Structure 1
Amino acid sequence: MGSRTGIYHEGSRAVQDRAGVRDLADHVGRAVGDGIKPVAAAFLELQPLLVLGAAAPDDGRVWASPLAGRPGFVRATGPHQMSVTGRLRPGDPLAPALATDGTPVATIALDPRTRRRMRLNGELRTTEAGFAVTAQRVFANCPKYIQRRDSYELLPGRAAGAPRHGHELTDAQRAFVASADTFFLATVRDGRAEVSHRGGLPGFVRSGSARELTWPDYAGNAMFLTLGNLAVDPRAGLLFLDWTTGTTLQVTGEGQTRFTADGERRVRFTVSEEIETPGAVPLRWSPPEPSPANPPVTT
């Protein structure tokens, strides 16, 4: 898995070539492996939040879901295995997938305190305490576009409210999206999953209508794993999180990348279904310090 051949498929290569960054992608790809190094294991054990991405087994829709707990609930239990103590809340759209052995799953651990993030993708196996993931792809990303949040509180007494389901965004949800400085994006391709982070100044995600979201694809590590997936399979899932109240907005649908004449990229996402859950995450983070890499939001 550490070879460049195993990392990129035709979708990623097509986007890399269009952006003129294939050589850079090959260089960056050398850092991708299938093992969990000691520094990565130490990072995982400090995290109170893990975001997961996968396709639901019943209808194939792609979702991104959060799982939170006391640091140590995620840990490396071998050079190629990550174990998680805990399960998704009942009713989460990915709960059935995470209760099924062999599910391809993607994870990202993001630490706002240090602006570090780590991605681990692989195959899931259920355990008595939760689940484990046999790692197939492990790598870190740069701190670009991560808003710093210096501290958090774990609120074990916070209980998730009743989820609200719909097939388009309400006005309040569109305002929530417009105020977001962070979201997570899950994609799939040929039985594998990816989940990535997107960040920017509030307003970088726009809602053109109750069933459409758009956002710019800022310059990153040149791998184009997410946009490459969308190029061959448009299914995607978004997770927006209120970092204070723990409310989540999960959206599933399809994404398409549009390239402008000046070389910029913008993703258009069509909403199929949304689930809003008050108090879903028992974490309360301190106010954000915007990333110095955030571009200005254009009108």
Structure 2
Amino acid sequence: MTGPYHRGEHEAQRRAGLREEAEVSGRAIRDTVPPVAASFLTQQRLLVVGAADDRGDVWATVLTGPAGFLRAPDEHRLSIAARPAPEDPLAAALERPVHLGMLAIEAATRRRMRMNGTARPQGDGLLVDLDQVVANCPKYIQKRTPPEADAAPPQAGTPQARRSDRLDDGQQRFLTGADTFFIATADEHGRADASHRGGNPGFLQVLSPTRLRWPDYTGNAMFLTLGNLLVNPRAGLVVPDYATGTTLHLTGTAQTVWDAGETEGAALAGTGRLVEFTVTGVAELPGTLPAGWSPPAASRFNPPVPAAGARGAA
């Protein structure tokens, strides 16, 4: 088999029985930004990024700015005119060169673009030398529209970030109702990746203050996320609250249950696969996103989720 995959991705494709499909999909992985993608980037106001911090913990976060804050100065680089807030879990890591996984996503049109590369500080932003550029399909993206670009910024005196090593009751309730989150992973060499996960509310199950689970839906057969987890279980999630602009960041470890059988959600997902996540760190940051997005229109691809009464701790 040929293609730009590492050993973990090859193994994930083998376990799923999708090696031939992965070979075809792999032809879409490039190391350059085509002109149509460069134009798409200049229209975006949000970028999900993932990386490992100085301790090796993997986190995901969100960078925002006006249209034009993302720009491809040439086909091999991405310029980002933004940095994380000082209290963001990745703020310190992005003060030095680091491998960054990135996802530009436009929920209003269900378009997304995945990029990976080595970032270094440049002025008040970042410059990324790209090594992977992937166009992803619109499946499982809930359509929602951001507030107007000139909407009022968060008010001064916004509460400070809250940190802990487990989810409190309010955070658990929030996650149970989430329809979107983003996951960052990395291979054994620290090469990071950021990806989207979406579904009907309830697809992300809270099993305890330190355990989450979600079904792995049918995708493009590349298995960039699950392949990373096979060689490096550290992972990070960021879950946006589109109403308030708050983001909930989690770090920990994840493993794939490849044959979950009739376990809640696995059969309904159509793949029989689940991912289980153990929380080791939590950061809740107010004001990361502009608040007041439109209510979501669910993706027609979202599988059903188990009834609330059928869900519970494993």
TM-score grouping bracket, smaller chain normalisation: over 0.9
Distance in 2, Cα, partners of 1:97 & 1:13: 29
Distance in 2, Cα, partners of 1:119 & 1:186: 12
Gap change, CA 1:65 and 1:151, over 3 Å in 2: closer
Q: What is the CA-CA distance between 1:125 and the residue it aligns to?
A: 1.7
- Of Structure 1 and Structure 2, which has the larger fraction of its residues in strand? 1
Distance in 2, Cα, partners of 1:95 & 1:246: 18
Q: Name the amino acid aligned to 2:171.
A: Q
2:302 matches 1:294: yes
- Aligned pairs (5 A) from 1:89-100: 89-100=85-96
Q: What is the CA-CA distance between 1:15 and the residue it aligns to?
A: 1.4
The CA RMSD measured in Å over matched residues stands at 1.4
* 1:54 corresponds to: 51
What's the CA shift string for 1:88-128, capped at 9, x where partnerless? Answer: 10111111111102x10011011111101101100112111
2:47 matches 1:39: no
User: Identity of counterpart residues, as a percentage?
Assistant: 49
Q: Name the amino acid aligned to 1:209.
A: S
Aligned to 1:152, what secondary structure does the other structure show? coil
Q: What is the CA-CA distance between 1:151 and the residue it aligns to?
A: 4.3
Aligned to 2:49, what secondary structure does the other structure show? strand
* 2:192 corresponds to: 193
* 2:221 corresponds to: 222
- Aligned pairs (5 A) from 1:60-209: 60-101=56-97, 103-154=98-149, 155-159=151-155, 161-189=159-187, 190-209=189-208
What's the CA shift string for 1:45-75, capped at 9, x where partnerless? Answer: 1111101000002x11000011111110111
Aligned to 1:42, what secondary structure does the other structure show? helix
Please give the TM-score of this superposition, normalised by the length of structure 2.
0.91
Distance in 2, Cα, partners of 1:223 & 1:16: 7
Aligned to 2:117, what secondary structure does the other structure show? strand
CA contact (8 A) 1:111 1:117 kept: yes
Distance in 2, Cα, partners of 1:235 & 1:22: 24
* 1:243 corresponds to: 242
What's the CA shift string for 1:17-51, capped at 9, x where partnerless? Answer: 11111010000110110001111111111111101
Q: Name the amino acid aligned to 1:230.
A: L
Q: Out of 13, 18, 23, which is 1:21 matched to? A: 18
* 2:232 corresponds to: 233
CA contact (8 A) 2:88 2:285 kept: no
Distance in 1, Cα, partners of 2:53 & 2:145: 34
Distance in 1, Cα, partners of 2:152 & 2:91: 20
Q: What is the CA-CA distance between 1:278 and the residue it aligns to?
A: 2.0
Distance in 1, Cα, partners of 2:152 & 2:52: 29
Distance in 1, Cα, partners of 2:61 & 2:241: 13
CA contact (8 A) 2:163 2:283 kept: yes
Aligned residues: 294
Q: Which runs of 4+ in 1 moved over 3 A?
A: none
Aligned to 1:16, what secondary structure does the other structure show? helix
Task: Return 5+ residue gaps in structure 1 as ranges.
Answer: none
Q: What is the CA-CA distance between 1:285 and the residue it aligns to?
A: 1.5
Task: Return 5+ residue gaps in structure 2 as ranges.
Answer: 262-270
Distance in 2, Cα, partners of 1:112 & 1:125: 28
CA contact (8 A) 1:153 1:285 kept: no
Distance in 1, Cα, partners of 2:260 & 2:293: 40
Distance in 2, Cα, partners of 1:50 & 1:131: 12
CA contact (8 A) 1:115 1:143 kept: yes
Q: Name the amino acid aligned to 2:298.
A: P
Distance in 1, Cα, partners of 2:10 & 2:146: 39
- The more displaced of 125-134 and 279-288 is 279-288
